[in-house]
Homo-oligomer: A and B are copies of this chain.
Amino acid sequence: MTYCVGLLLDAGIVLLSDTRTNAGLDNISSYRKMFTFEEPGERVIGIMTAGSLSVTQTVIARLTDAIEDPDADPTRSIMKVPTMLGVAEIVGNMLGEVRREVATKLDRMSQTASASMILTGQRKGGPMRMFLIYPEGNFIEATRDTPYLQIGEHKYGKPILDRVVTSETSLADAKKAVLLSMDSTLRSNLSVGMPLDLAVMREGEFRISEQRRIEDNDPAFARMSEDWSNALRTSFSQIEALD
């Protein structure tokens, strides 16, 4: 499985993804699930993926091919299409197409393959936008009412987001929130695993403002996780019982 979360805030975009993939319980690997594309100062795009690796890798490979093809027109290249909505349409159509191709192949074995994506970014002159793209290619968009989107194992990490994240949340707090949301998921579900990929795109910079991989032994993340555990246990012990 997977856990990816994206926050669309007034100050910018924050993305966090894990890297664990598995084909059955006995075949576990680590694959990057966050992909970024930028022409600094002009546009920045981030994509996070969940689901069948055979689907998501093919989608990313074809999108990359189209970007690198000098003859690709704006209906194929996500770096040429004029708006983020156009980017979402290209990615959505590609996801739906690849999913159907793979499903046709798997149909003979009564298996299915599915995938979903979070797509986000900003183009010069336009607003930041964030979309959740479903397996068939249709999508929904994050708004001020609901400024975050999740794919994969989203339930464990949702309560903390529901409590602390609004559109006005600062980027520093947003990074804390997604990391603690991931921390709860990592603790409760073995199918989500380190290392993590974190990226920030500040509003109006049209580039990856910050990107880092957080390895399994990262001391700052371990310290944050430990502090949060201790804070939860202390808070728990201080809550007055029901009676």
Contact = CB atoms under 8 A, between A and B. Distances in A.
B236 A235 contact: no
A213 interface: no
Contacts of A85: none
Identical chains bound together, number:
2
A224 B235 CA distance: 11
A105 interface: no
A175 B242 contact: yes
B232 A220 contact: no
B176 A162 contact: no
A220 B164 CA distance: 23
Contact of A233 (B164, B175, B189): B164
Nearest to A210: B243
Nearest to A218: B242
Dominant secondary structure at the A interface? helix
A23 interface: no
Contacts of A187: 159, 162-163
A241 B176 contact: yes
Contacts of A238: 231
A179 to B, nearest CB: 6
Contacts of A72: none
Contact of A224 (B156, B188, B221, B240): B240
Interface of A: 153, 155-156, 158-160, 162-164, 172-173, 175-177, 179-180, 184, 187-189, 198, 214, 220-221, 223-224, 227-229, 231-243
23 contacts: A153-B155, A155-B155, A155-B156, A156-B158, A159-B159, A160-B232, A160-B236, A162-B188, A163-B229, A164-B232, A164-B233, A164-B236, A176-B236, A176-B239, A176-B241, A177-B236, A214-B242, A220-B242, A220-B243, A223-B240, A227-B239, A228-B239, A232-B232
Given A162-B188, A198-B242, A227-B240, 13 more contacts: A155-B189, A156-B158, A159-B188, A163-B229, A172-B241, A176-B241, A177-B236, A180-B236, A180-B239, A224-B240, A227-B239, A231-B235, A235-B235
